[in-house]
Amino acid sequence: MALETPPARGPVADAAAQAGLLVVFAARTARAGVRAVLGRRLAWRECLEQCWFLAAVSALPAVLMTIPLGVLVAVNIGSLAGQLGAEGYAGAVVAFVVVGQAAPLVCALMISGVGGSAICADLGSRKLREETEAMEVMGLSTVERLVVPRVLAAVVVTVLLNGVVMAVGIGATLFVHVLLGGSSGGFLATLTAYADPGGFLVAEVKAGVFAVLAALVSAFKGLTARGGPSGLGDAVNEAVVMAFVLVFVANTVLTELHPLLLPPKGEF
């Protein structure tokens, strides 16, 4: 599998070439993934190790990041809703903000920032030590052995992490809401009225899509790294930036698709 980036020909041509290569890389990974699963030769051990690693590095920071966000949501939106005479709707707002936007995005930042840079650094250093070439020479597919398990692990961890983040986010918001003199019953009533399973499902789908994007971009940048420590550093930098921007764009697209695919129930 040759994944060499062509020689530089100006920024626009480079960007186009990279975008094209990334699409090819994604298609290859998807094909390798399907074949590995159907052929029962998925690298389970690698997959489990990656799951454990990603969960270990991203769980605590995700929770640490969610708590202040929950406090902010409660303080800002709760009190503003109160001033507009809509205290009772604080729970509904949390349903929109935490479940709909904040939780998947926190997971996305974690998986593309923390997990993605680790994936990129790992694969990139293997590439620089020519371990990946050695694998190819021995007839082992790097995509199948290294990339597919990482993408799968990222999806599993992010989807699970999303649940944790939602629980922590809602908990923190509820805690501060009550602390500031709000009613927990009203909060929970509007929360459960507006946070339907469809919204939860969309949040989980979002998290999964973000994980696929982040893992693919990081693996791609890692496997095309060159130029020693500074080259690998640049690769990690670019991987993180690309993953962040892609994730933000994907978030908008998925949020827009949500009402089309799952028509919201009740009066919105």
The residue (of 35 and 72) whose beta carbon lies closer to another protein is 72
**Subset of residues 16 to 55 that bind another protein, contact rule: CB under 8 A:** 18-19
Tell me how far CA of residue 116 lies from CA of 108, 135, 241, in angstroms: 10, 22, 10
Q: How far apart are CA 150 and CA 143, in angstroms?
A: 10
Residue 43 DSSP SS3? coil
- Quick one: which of 45, 138, 230, 263 contacts another protein (CB under 8 A)? 230
- Quick one: which of 197, 229, 263, 265 contacts another protein (CB under 8 A)? 229
Full DSSP string of 86-112? -GGGHHHHHIIIIIIIIHHHHHHHIII
How crowded is residue 228: how many other Cβ atoms within 10 Å of its Cβ? 9
The residue (of 42 and 128) whose beta carbon lies closer to another protein is 128
**Subset of residues 67 to 96 that bind another protein, contact rule: CB under 8 A:** 68-69, 71-72, 75-76, 79-86, 89, 92-93, 96
The reply on whether position 122 binds another protein by CB under 8 A is: yes
The residue (of 42 and 173) whose beta carbon lies closer to another protein is 173
Tell me how far CA of residue 259 lies from CA of 33, 85, 263, 264, in angstroms: 31, 27, 5, 6
Q: What is the DSSP letter of 227?
A: S
Phi/psi for 195 (5° steps) reads -90, 90
* Closest CB 183 distance from another protein, rounded Å: 16
**Residues near another protein (CB under 8 A), total:** 73
| Chain centroid offset of residue 93 CA | 23
The residue (of 3 and 35) whose beta carbon lies closer to another protein is 3
**Subset of residues 100 to 119 that bind another protein, contact rule: CB under 8 A:** 100-101, 109-110, 113-118
Tell me how far CA of residue 7 lies from CA of 15, 106, 115, in angstroms: 12, 36, 29
Q: How far apart are CA 48 and CA 25, in angstroms?
A: 23
Stretch 133-172: interaction string toward another protein, x if CB under 8 A = ----------------------------------------
**Subset of residues 164 to 223 that bind another protein, contact rule: CB under 8 A:** 180, 194
The residue (of 230 and 265) whose beta carbon lies closer to another protein is 230
Tell me how far CA of residue 118 lies from CA of 14, 43, 61, 90, 235, in angstroms: 25, 19, 15, 38, 11
The residue (of 11 and 139) whose beta carbon lies closer to another protein is 11
The residue (of 33 and 116) whose beta carbon lies closer to another protein is 116
- Among the listed ranges 58-66, 134-142, 149-157, 196-204, the one in contact with another protein (CB under 8 A) is 58-66
